[in-house]
Chains A and B, each alone.
Chain A
Amino acid sequence: MTTQLYVAIGYVLFAPIIGGLMAGIDRIITARMQGRKGPPLLQPFYDVFKLFQKQNILVNRLQLPFVVCHVIFAIFTGFLFFQGSDVLLIIFVLTLAGVFLVLAAYSTGSPFSAVGAERELLLMMGYEPMLIIALVGMYEVAGSFDMYKIMNAPVPVVLYLPGIYLGIVYILAIKLRKSPFDLSTSHHAHQELVKGITSDMGGATLALTEISHWYETVFLYGFLFIFFGANPIVGAVGVIVTFLLEIAIDNAVARVKWEFMLSSAWLVALIMGAGNLIPLFLINRG
């Protein structure tokens, strides 16, 4: 119990550093894939520090409170996860964090933010079923919603949940704001909708969304990690391969329309998720 609490506190303290470094590595690899040299590893941190130094211009009174709530609940999500709380409950906290960001964008009244907010909602609607199905699958294998129990299951759960794992990799691209699903906002400069959900954010407000994105990245890869069981090397390899895969997909494919995103995410959840879950139930209980 106490070690779990230390891990969780460690997450709150160090996740931004790890997440920022991951973003830095992401940018370097992306640059190399595009034949560029790329920025220094610490560039994401420089960016965020710079943002904090800029003047913070707000559009209304609600925007900043909502973004702060978004950050707090994003941190809380990871804290609960690493502390070993019920993962199913955590997914709802994650959703709540997302809702706050969407509300912050809605509150501005700007058409760019509005489209970003609606698209973010579409993305949330897209990935939610797969996430829930994945958790239920994990419970079915490990008999618990505690991430430590899932991790320490006799066999890595990924062996029972190959379809669900692939489904999660699919929706991870949505959650990480990667192409082809960077509909609501992205780190690339080629957005035709300005910066989507973050269009009307600047200075410290924007920096906060960046930091919360780092927190979420660490949480999501942590979630991926428990698929591979207790062996840290296997887990690390699994996470790194997935990480590289997401970057490769990000650079190799063009952005899709939301229609494709939503229908494909739901189909993936149905085929890879339910198609994995129902046989699992059949075998376990039949």
Chain B
Amino acid sequence: MDLPLLLVLLPLVCGIVVASIKAFNVRKYFVFASSLLLAIVSIACVVKYAKSLPVRISYDAEWIQPLMLGLELFMAGMVAFLAIKYKKKLALVLAFAQVALAIFFEVRYGESIPIHTDIVIDQLTIIMLLIVGIVGGLIGVYATGYMKTYQEENPDVPDRRRYFFLVLFVFMSAMFGLVLSNNILWMYFFWEITTVCSFLLIGYSRTEEAVRNSFRAIVMNLAGGLAYMGAIIVLANDGGILEFDRLSSVPPVFLAIPLTLLCVAGFTKAAQLPFSSWLLGAMVAPTPISALLHSSTMVKAGVYLFLRIAPLLSSSMPGYLTAFVGGVTFLVGAVLAISQRNAKRVLAYSTISNLGLIVACAGIGTYQTIWVALFLTIFHAVAKSLMFLSVGTAAAGMGTLEIEGMRGLIIKMPRIALMMLAGICGMFVAPFGMLISKWAAMEALISLNNMVSPVMIILIAYGSAATIFFWTKWMGTIIRERNPHARSGLYEHHVSGEEYASMFILTVMTILTCVLFPVISSFAVEPYLVSTYGHAFGLSRSNVFIMIIMICMLIVIPALLIAVPWRKKVTMGTAYMGGRTVTEALHFEGSAGADKQVQVQNYYLTRYFDEKRILPVGIIVCTILLMVMGGISLL
């Protein structure tokens, strides 16, 4: 059985089947079955090929290339149609430019460039396949439950759930195709599909804001696609090689321009500064879509491209500049997350920041930093999807997306709150994944012999300080409750089983990836580094040991302490209120006998970490870096 082909085609079949079913209750089970099937096939792919990596497959079929071109034309037509419908000139122009370039390429170079291997499956592919297959599937399962509530609560949004699931599965198919492709043209094809899918999903609700933001997303990503196409044409013209695994045999002189163009494409998709705004705009979409864009698809496509070309970026000028763009994005994203009140925007900036770190590591491109980048990708996919899903459910229950609105979640929705806390821990607490990676990034940077590393370390040092602030603040809000004796779980009844199931699995995965990271490292990441760089990199055994002790401490000690019935041994009092008499739930007698309740809000430091002031600075800095990159590659 041709598993790679199956991986690409199966989600399409699933999507069409799911979309063709009208009855919600039946469709639901088909979504479960499809998600399970996709997870199984991606795991099967791993099992089948694990022993013989890297696997190279090529397809001789002559119909593939024309089919891809045809579908590209179709997509461009679709975008053009919507662009005309909503009067968006720029999107129209870009869609046409892309088609023109694609046709030009086909006519000029079409058959003349031999392709040896279309698909390469190595450890990097395997990791990405698992992320897309498992995390993507779980988001699909979650969406069945969530979208039902969403449609009930937003009666003016037309019910297009069948379309939603169709696009979702097409998206997964494109991601599978993208990570499998060694043929640069193929990857371009799938790259464009992810662009269009994200465009369609962001505009799901068809409100004015959704339409506007979806067009912003497609304009930026089409521009990235243009850069990608430019890279293809230059490569075809100068090097005559259009395969990732053979790019290293292209003389470096000819590589500078295509690499820079590919980096620009990667920056757009991975929402790096100056292109980060589309990801913020994408927050208008229903939560499962955000989860999908942030964790297993879309932005990970950009990251994947960087990881693929990382060996070529290593100690090159485009590589260093990429690292700086990533580093600046890391810092700016982290700092801006402090000033955000909307939970999804906090998550968006945190994603941008984390992706910045991954891009920075890929830009430096040595085996140590690639180790870090791969782990960041894994941990981020799992923990961020968990965060989005739990925020979606919590927001539906509490009726607001504001962080302040999640006050006392631990009492109102205890199970959701616990999973959300696990997700937050996964994002920044030692020794969970993201922190391990951040720490390993610093260790890797220190050991490098170049002048980029001290600057990167300083950027990371400031960025992680900001990270602590906004995550801890969020954790504190969840556990802050005016009335600890209130009945527990009052807001949790409507939460569907699908939502629980997918979040629970992701919670377990967040913890397991952390406990098992030495295993992941030795089975997948280190072999990849050995095959690509000839070096292995891992953390020292004593440090791994400490981390595993810590994670056990972190789970066991609080659980034990909370489970112990302290209340019987100690007296419970009310919080200190400046000596005022306080009644139930921190009500106190204000002046003239008015009954008041305490209102406590968090610091957002908007005067200092103002989006309007800091974001432009980041955009300008990164635009300059991009221009320098372009200038150097042309020289």
Closest to A258 in B: B603
* CA–CA, A72 and B460, complex, Å: 27
Flag whether B634 is at the interface (Cβ < 8 A). no
Contact B451 A282 (CB under 8 A): yes
Q: Which of B429, B439, B458, B481 contacts A133 (CB 8 A)?
A: B458
Contact B430 A194 (CB under 8 A): no
Known: A107-B479, A110-B577. A136 touches B446 (CB 8 A): yes
* CA–CA, A95 and B467, complex, Å: 12
Chain A min CB distance to B600 (Å): 4
Contact A62 B479 (CB under 8 A): yes
Q: Which of A57, A76, A88, A286 contacts B443 (CB 8 A)?
A: A88
Q: Which of A109, A132, A200 contacts B442 (CB 8 A)?
A: A132
Closest to B458 in A: A274
Residues from chain A with Cβ under 8 Å of B561 in the complex: 64-65, 68-69
Q: Is the contact region of chain A dominated by helix, strand, or loop, or is it mixed?
A: helix
Contact A112 B578 (CB under 8 A): yes
Flag whether A151 is at the interface (Cβ < 8 A). no
Closest to A109 in B: B482
Contact A59 B572 (CB under 8 A): yes
Known: A60-B481, A285-B450, A285-B451. A93 touches B575 (CB 8 A): no
Residues from chain A with Cβ under 8 Å of B295 in the complex: none
Flag whether B316 is at the interface (Cβ < 8 A). no
- Count contacts on B: residues with CB < 8 A to the other chain: 65
Residues from chain B with Cβ under 8 Å of A199 in the complex: 576
Residues from chain A with Cβ under 8 Å of B465 in the complex: 124-126, 128-129
Q: Which of A60, A68, A95 contacts B468 (CB 8 A)?
A: A95
Contact A109 B575 (CB under 8 A): yes
* CA–CA, A66 and B602, complex, Å: 20
Q: Which of B450, B482, B573 contacts A58 (CB 8 A)?
A: B573
* CA–CA, A270 and B481, complex, Å: 38
* Stretch from A26-34, A38-46, A115-123, A158-166 contacting the other chain: A115-123
Flag whether A147 is at the interface (Cβ < 8 A). no
Residues from chain A with Cβ under 8 Å of B479 in the complex: 62, 103, 106-107
Contact B576 A106 (CB under 8 A): no
Contact B570 A57 (CB under 8 A): yes
Quick one: which of B567-620 are within 8 Å of A by CB? 567, 570-578, 586, 598, 600, 602-603, 608
Chain A min CB distance to B185 (Å): 41
Closest to B476 in A: A106
* CA–CA, A266 and B465, complex, Å: 10
Contact B586 A110 (CB under 8 A): yes
* CA–CA, A226 and B108, complex, Å: 67
Residues from chain B with Cβ under 8 Å of A96 in the complex: 429-430, 554
Contact A64 B570 (CB under 8 A): yes
Quick one: which of B463-489 are within 8 Å of A by CB? 464-466, 468-469, 472-473, 475-477, 479-484
Contact A61 B567 (CB under 8 A): yes
* Stretch from B261-269, B282-290, B542-550 contacting the other chain: B542-550
Contact A112 B562 (CB under 8 A): no
B461, B466, B475: which has the most chain A beta carbons within 10 Å?
A: B461
* CA–CA, A25 and B550, complex, Å: 34
Q: Which of A111, A129, A136 contacts B577 (CB 8 A)?
A: A111
Quick one: which of A40-56 are within 8 Å of B by CB? 55-56
Flag whether B566 is at the interface (Cβ < 8 A). yes
Chain A min CB distance to B517 (Å): 14
Contact A57 B600 (CB under 8 A): no
Known: A58-B572, A96-B429, A106-B480. A69 touches B462 (CB 8 A): no
Count of CB-CB pairs between chains A and B under 8 Å: 197
Closest to A68 in B: B561
Contact B543 A85 (CB under 8 A): yes
Flag whether A92 is at the interface (Cβ < 8 A). yes
* CA–CA, A128 and B469, complex, Å: 11
* CA–CA, A286 and B460, complex, Å: 22
Contact B566 A58 (CB under 8 A): yes
Q: Which of A89, A117, A121, A281 contacts B543 (CB 8 A)?
A: A89
Residues from chain A with Cβ under 8 Å of B571 in the complex: 55-58
Residues from chain A with Cβ under 8 Å of B482 in the complex: 109
Chain A min CB distance to B424 (Å): 10
Q: Which of A72, A92, A113, A139 contacts B439 (CB 8 A)?
A: A92
The interface size bin for chain A is: 35 or more
Q: Which of A69, A110, A128, A282 contacts B558 (CB 8 A)?
A: A69
Flag whether B449 is at the interface (Cβ < 8 A). yes
* CA–CA, A114 and B472, complex, Å: 12
* CA–CA, A62 and B479, complex, Å: 8
Residues from chain B with Cβ under 8 Å of A139 in the complex: 446
Q: Which of A69, A109, A194, A263 contacts B481 (CB 8 A)?
A: A109
* CA–CA, A103 and B453, complex, Å: 34
Closest to B430 in A: A92
Residues from chain B with Cβ under 8 Å of A64 in the complex: 561, 566, 570
Flag whether B435 is at the interface (Cβ < 8 A). yes
Residues from chain A with Cβ under 8 Å of B442 in the complex: 88, 132, 136
Known: A93-B430, A96-B429, A132-B442. A103 touches B472 (CB 8 A): yes
Chain B min CB distance to A142 (Å): 12
Flag whether A172 is at the interface (Cβ < 8 A). no
Chain B min CB distance to A41 (Å): 31
Flag whether B66 is at the interface (Cβ < 8 A). no
Contact A278 B454 (CB under 8 A): yes
Flag whether B553 is at the interface (Cβ < 8 A). yes
Chain B min CB distance to A212 (Å): 14
Q: Which of A68, A89, A132 contacts B461 (CB 8 A)?
A: A132
Residues from chain B with Cβ under 8 Å of A99 in the complex: 429, 468, 472, 475
Chain B min CB distance to A82 (Å): 14
Quick one: which of A228-268 are within 8 Å of B by CB? 259, 262-263, 266
Flag whether B557 is at the interface (Cβ < 8 A). yes
Residues from chain A with Cβ under 8 Å of B550 in the complex: 76, 93
Chain B min CB distance to A220 (Å): 18
Closest to B442 in A: A88
Chain A min CB distance to B525 (Å): 19
Chain B min CB distance to A165 (Å): 17
Known: A68-B557, A92-B430, A281-B453. A121 touches B566 (CB 8 A): no
Contact B562 A277 (CB under 8 A): no
Q: Which of B439, B455, B462, B566 contacts A89 (CB 8 A)?
A: B439
Flag whether A217 is at the interface (Cβ < 8 A). no
Flag whether B398 is at the interface (Cβ < 8 A). no
Known: A59-B573, A128-B464. 6 other contacts (CB 8 A): A62-B410, A64-B570, A99-B468, A102-B476, A114-B600, A194-B576
Jot down 7 A-B pairs with beta carbons below 8 A, ordered by A: A59-B573, A62-B479, A69-B561, A106-B477, A109-B586, A126-B465, A273-B458
* Shortest Cβ-Cβ A-B pairs, 9 listed: A106-B476, A110-B575, A65-B561, A128-B465, A92-B430, A60-B484, A132-B461, A57-B573, A129-B461
Interface residues of B (CB under 8 A from A): 410, 429-431, 435, 439, 442-443, 446, 449-451, 453-455, 457-458, 460-462, 464-466, 468-469, 472-473, 475-477, 479-484, 540, 542-543, 546-547, 550, 553-554, 557-558, 561-562, 566-567, 570-578, 586, 598, 600, 602-603, 608
Interface residues of A (CB under 8 A from B): 55-62, 64-66, 68-69, 72-73, 76, 80, 85-86, 88-89, 92-93, 95-96, 99, 102-103, 105-114, 117-118, 121-122, 124-126, 128-129, 132-133, 136, 139-140, 145, 194, 199-200, 259, 262-263, 266, 269-270, 273-274, 277-278, 281-282, 285-286
